[in-house]
Amino acid sequence: MKEYLLPTRVVDGNKIERSETLLRSKGLYATINYNVEDRKDYLKMEGLGSFIVLDFGKEMNGGIRMITNFIHSDSCKIRIRFGESLGEVNANIKEKNASNVHGPRDFETLVCTFADFTVGQIGFRFVRIDLLEEKYIYFKNIFCENNIFSKKPIYTYQGSDERIAEIFNVAKRTVDLCASDKYVWDGVKRDRLLWVGDLAPEVMALSSIYGRLPIVERSLDLAKKLAPLPQFMNGIYTYSMWWVIVLADYYKTFACKNYIKKHIKYMVALLDLFDGLVDEKGDLNKKIRYLVDWPTKDSVDELVGVRVIFLMAINGAIELLETFGLSTEKALAIKEKLLKQPLIVMEKKQVIALKYFAIGSLTDEEYGKLIDGGVKGFSTFMSYYILSAIASRDEELAIKLMKEYYGAMIDRGATTFWEDFHIEWLKGSGRIDEREPNKLDIHGDFGAHCYVGFRHSLCHGWSAGVVKFIKEHCKN
C-alpha cells in the first residue's frame, strides 16, 4: 500500500519562512500562484545556507513528494538527506559511516516551478533539504510517500499491558515495512535484499500476524531460484540450513503439503551438500562461509552455533521427509556425525537458545548462563529463540526481559526495531529523535561488523521475531 503523510514537526531550519504551513495539507496537486500574496500559506526557503529538517514521526519506506510553487529563475538545485535518526539526517557521507550504500540517502537534485514530483527510495524518518543556489523556493507541501504491507491481520495483541502492546505494534511496523514489495527484505534502508537466514524471524512475524502469505512463499521460491545447486543461499551454508528450517516450520504451521512438495527434490539434494560439510569425526567445514549472527561472529561459540543450526535443519528435514514418505537414512547419518562433537556453549545466549531448539532441553548450567545479566547479550535476530528458551522454565521472567530489551529501544525513540542492540549502548547515549550534544549518539556512535555508525539499520525485519513470542506467551 502507498500512503502520503505530512511531517509531524519541523525540527530545525535556517532562512525559512512559514515552515509550520508544511504541517497541514493543501492538496496533493500543484497550483499556479503568480501573486505573492497568494503564497502566504507556503513555506519559503531563500538563499545559500537555507535549510529545513522535517520529522515524519515514524520510520518510513519510500521518498518525499515535493509540491512546489514559484521558484526564482524557474529551477533551483537542492541537496536532500534522508535519515533514520536526527544524527544521520544531518551527517555528511563518511561521517560516522553515513553512506549511500543500497540506496541514495544524500544527493543533489533540481526542483522546478509549479512541480509535483517524488524523489527517494529508502528507509527514513527525517529529511533535510538545503538550498544550493542563491535563489528562493516556495513549497506548497512536502509529503512522505510511504510503502507498507497492508492486509487485515488475523492476530493482534489484545492484552492490557501497554508496554507489550507498544512492542507488538513497533515489531509489526518493522516487518510491514520490510514486506511492502514483492519479496521480504531484510531492511528498508539497508538491506533491500532477501537474506535467507534473516528471513526466519520475519516469516515468524508475518505468519503470526497474517497467516499464510504469498509474499512469504514467493520469497522462499526466489531463495531457491537464486541458489541453483551446488550453490548455497547467499553464499552462506547456514543460510541454506535456515531455508530448510523455515520450510519445515511453515509446514508445521499451515500443513501446506502441495506448496512444500515442489521444494522437496531441492531439499533432498541439499542433504547431499550438507553431508559434505561434516566429516566422520564430526568436524565442520570451515572453508565455506557460515554465520550464526553478527554478535556471535568469531566468538568462542560460533562453531557450536553453526552445529546447532545444522541440527535444527536436519531435524526439520527429517520431519518433512517422513511427511512425504521418503527415506530419512541420509539425514539421520548426518545427525549422527553432528552429535559426535560435544555441544558445549561457553557464553553466547543465542547459541544456548538455539541448542534448546535443536535438542529440546537445557541443563541447569546453560539456563543459568541464559538468564545471567538479564538482557545483556541478547540478540535482535535471535530474540524469539532466546525468550522462548527462557520461557520454557520461567515465562514471567522471559516476558519481563522482553519488555526491558525491546522497551529500551522504544525509550530511545525507536518506531521500528533495529538490526542490533545491546543494553550497554544506553549508558551516556540520547534518543534518535533529539539533538543532545553532550550525549553519545546511539545511532552514530555504536554498531559493529557491517553496521558501524549510521550504516546501522534501524528497521530490520529480523528483529520482529518477538511477535511470535508475544502471540505464544503474552495472553494478558
Say how many residues make up the chain.
476
Name the CA dihedral angle for 325, 330, 331, 332, rounded to a multiple of 10 degrees.
100
Residue 14 has pLDDT above 90, yes or no: yes
Helix pair angle (466-473, 395-411), 10° resolution: 140
pLDDT in tens, 219-271: 999 999 999 999 999 999 999 999 999 999 999 999 999 999 999 999 999 99
Report residue 343's pLDDT band, with 50, 70 and 90 as the boundaries.
very high
Q: CA-CA-CA-CA torsion for 147, 149, 150, 154, nearest 10 degrees?
A: -160
- Of 323, 345, 350, 347, the residue nearest 197 (C-alpha): 350
DSSP, collapsed to helix, strand or coil, labels residue 349 as: helix
Residue 73: Cβ within 10 Å count: 9
Q: Considering the domain 2-147 in this protein, what is its CATH number?
A: 2.60.120.260
Q: Give the per-residue pLDDT at 35.
A: 84
pLDDT of residue 213: 98
Split at pLDDT 50, 70, 90, the class of 103 is confident
- Of 274, 455, 305, the closest CA to residue 386 belongs to 305
CA atoms of 247 and 168, how far apart (whole Å): 24
Mean pLDDT (the chain, rounded): 96
175-217: pLDDT as tens digits: 999 999 999 999 999 889 999 999 999 999 999 999 999 999 9
Model pLDDT, residue 431:
98
| % of the chain surpassing 90 pLDDT | 96
Q: What pLDDT, on the 0 to 100 scale, is given for residue 168?
A: 98
Name the band, by pLDDT with cuts 50, 70 and 90, for residue 36.
Answer: confident
User: What pLDDT sits at residue 246?
Assistant: 98
User: Where does the pLDDT of residue 296 fall: very low under 50, low under 70, confident under 90, or very high at 90 and above?
Assistant: very high
Residues 414-426: what's their mean pLDDT?
A: 98
Q: What are the grid coordinates assigned to 321, written together?
A: 521427509
Q: What is the tens place of the pLDDT at every residue in 208-222?
A: 999 999 999 999 999
Domain ranges of the chain: 2-147, 162-419+457-473
- Give residue for cell 519488555: 403
* pLDDT(476) > 90: no
Q: Which of 153, 208, 160, 246 is nearest to 470 (CA)?
A: 208
Domain 162-419+457-473, CATH among 1.20.1050.10, 3.10.180.10, 3.40.50.300, 1.50.10.10: 1.50.10.10
Predicted TM-score of the model (pTM): 0.96
